Chain A
Amino acid sequence: MLVIVAPPLFKGGYLMNVLVFVGINTMLAIALNLLLGYAGQISLGHAGFFGLGAYLSGILTTTYGLNPWAAMPAAAGVVGCLAGLIGFPILKLKGHYLAMATLGLGIIIYIVFNETVEFTGGPSGLSGIPNLQLAGITFDSDVKNYYLIWGVTLAVMLFSLNLANSRVGRALRAVHDSEVAAQVLGVNSRILKVQIFALSAVISSLAGSLYAHTMTFISPASFGFNFSIELLTMVVIGGLGSVFGSFLGAALLTLLPEFLRGANDYDIIIYGALLVVMVMFMPGGLVRGIPALFRKIAARKGETGHA
């Protein structure tokens, strides 16, 4: 699946800002897709890992004066370990129970953000987070952040594609299709699931850290249950198990509210409606549904053409 991305040189300032978000959301959608689309494990708490990455990096750089380039991997490391530890008990659960457990986890993390005011600044948020600096360039404008974020996003996309078509990726998809058959062939499904859970958490944490250093201000509101649902919607609408699908879903759901300016509150209705409609009519997501639709239309045209 070709990923054709040519960073356009828009000089439209505001659009740049939105595109930065598209990049971050794409990273998050891909992370969730690894878990949900390939391994088939539901997580409704991914906003929690996103938030942990943002807050850990933010706190390490503001309160402790650490260099952002050290804080980000440190945050990712902590989140990865946490996810690994929690992963073992949580991934023993399946289906609805796993969904609820991850939901609960996400909410607990959100509450911690709100309550540990000495560290996080509580509901008023954490500000003064430094921008990233590299080789004398400070990433403090939308255009510069655009290139930074998308550089990382493209790397994550490539990483994910490589993984999907490799030995480990196949083992993952096998576990999704028939866990018992995969086990019989020697795949340690338990460890694999935990590994993917941790990887997914690490990527989300990275996205969170980048978010923190780009926005310079974060607050718990961005990391709640609603955002976890948004991420889920992105992955489902784009198409489970497809990297390009994750990008599509992320792009759509980030750009959509922009076109619905003034209808700010209606976005949750639209997410809900989209989720329901997509699952019913296009369970494979847009990335499979749209080509299928075209094929159907073409086939019908073909029939009427050659009577």
Chain B
Amino acid sequence: MQFDQILQYALSGLSTGAIYALIGIGFSIIYNATGIINFAQGEFVMLGGLLTLSSLELLKLPLWAAIPCAVAVSTVAGILFERLAIRPLRQPTPINLVIITIGGSILIRGLAMLVWGKDTHAIPPFSGDTPIAIGGATILPQHLWILGITLVTILINKVYFYHTISGKAMRACSYNRRAAGLVGIDVKRMVLFSFIISSAMGAVAGIIVAPLTMTAYDVGVMLGLKGFCAAIIGGMSSGISTVIGGLILGVLESLGAGLISSGYKDAIAFIILLLILFIRPQGLFGKADSERV
């Protein structure tokens, strides 16, 4: 076990972790605004990658135009999902919400399969694939893009939530929906906004990781679940805690896969998920809350 190897695993783990962080923040935003865990979150990640592919190949757009295009369409999908599946729900019990978001995710996945087939597709890396050396390890330029774009997205998030009216309104909703409604905040619109932001973020995550891991109609399932895991570690925060959660998850997964066994790689994330849910469900950084009857 040389240091170089560990560094290698850790670095690639950081970039996967950044992706999990983005997806996890998406989960948290919707959860905080609505109390819903959107099982379909992973599907927007998938849509981001595949839509970029189509924009590049079918519409022959250059990369810098294809990406916003894909994000936009994914966001529209998010809006449709909220309008058609979430809003009209008559009895929003947890069971019904779980079932409907699962159903929605399956539907989206199935439609993606119809459109893009079952093959995996590749998207060209943003700026070539000459490896860069760091210490004794190498990373690809795409890794830097991932880390960079993730950072930018999180900063934009921070600015939005803390320095704009609508962002603050959304935070108000997440603390106390009724009170927010009473001071004139349109809660329904906040719900819509949360879906918009989450699906956009998910799409971005899918796009920046696609050059590395390829994309296909079913990448959303695992990515979504691991993003959820990141969110849980971070205590469902839409900020730095989930980012740390994602990074921890990514690094642990990468180290585990490299040093212990690669077949069990996916299991690592879920074992961590179960451990956290059993031992500290409020996340590593959250505060335990007491029940009120």
Residues on A facing B (Cβ under 8 Å): 36, 40, 42, 44, 89-90, 92-97, 99-101, 103-105, 107-108, 111-112, 114-115, 180, 225, 229, 232-233, 236, 240, 265-266, 268-276, 279-280, 283
Contacts and interface: CB of A to CB of B under 8 A. Distances in A.
Interface stretch (B104-112, B136-144, B201-209, B250-258): B104-112
A115 B96 CA distance: 34
A115 B274 contact: no
9 A-B pairs closest in CB distance: A275-B103, A269-B110, A272-B106, A95-B94, A272-B107, A104-B270, A96-B37, A276-B103, A89-B278
B133 interface: no
Interface of B: 36-37, 85, 88-91, 94-100, 102-111, 113-114, 118, 221, 225, 228, 232, 261, 263-264, 266-267, 270-271, 273-274, 277-278, 281, 293
9 contacts: A99-B37, A108-B267, A112-B267, A265-B113, A272-B110, A276-B104, A279-B89, A279-B103, A280-B88
Q: Which of A93, A236, A240, A272 has the most CB of B within 10 A?
A: A272
B232 to A, nearest CB: 8
A279 B107 contact: no
Q: Could you tell me the dominant secondary structure of chain A's interface residues?
A: helix
Given A275-B99, A276-B85, A269 B107 contact: yes
Given A95-B98, A236-B99, A275-B102, A268 B89 contact: no
Given A115-B263, A276-B85, A283-B91, A232 B102 contact: yes
Contacts of B271: 104, 108
Given A96-B94, A97-B277, A280-B88, 4 more contacts: A95-B98, A104-B274, A108-B267, A269-B106
B102 A107 contact: no
Nearest to A102: B274
Tell me the dominant secondary structure on chain B's binding face. helix
B267 A268 contact: no
Nearest to A94: B94
Contacts, number: 123
A40 to B, nearest CB: 7
Given A103-B225, A232-B99, A97 B281 contact: yes
Contacts of B100: 275-276, 279-280
A43 to B, nearest CB: 11
A240 B99 CA distance: 12
B283 to A, nearest CB: 11
A111 B108 CA distance: 25
Contacts of B98: 42, 95-96, 99
A94 B36 CA distance: 13
Most buried by B among A36, A44, A97, A225: A97
Contacts of B90: 280, 283
A97 B274 CA distance: 10
A240 B98 CA distance: 14
B103 A272 contact: yes
Contact of A273 (B103, B261, B266, B278): B103
Given A95-B94, A104-B273, A275 B106 contact: yes
Nearest to A277: B103
Contact of A114 (B108, B110, B263): B263
B103 A180 contact: no
Contacts of B91: 283
Interface centre among B88, B98, B225 (most CB of A within 10 A): B98
A111 B263 contact: yes
A232 B261 CA distance: 32
Given A108-B267, A180-B293, A232-B102, A273 B107 contact: yes
Which among A96, A268, A274 has the highest number of chain B CB atoms within 10 Å?
A: A96
B102 A100 contact: no
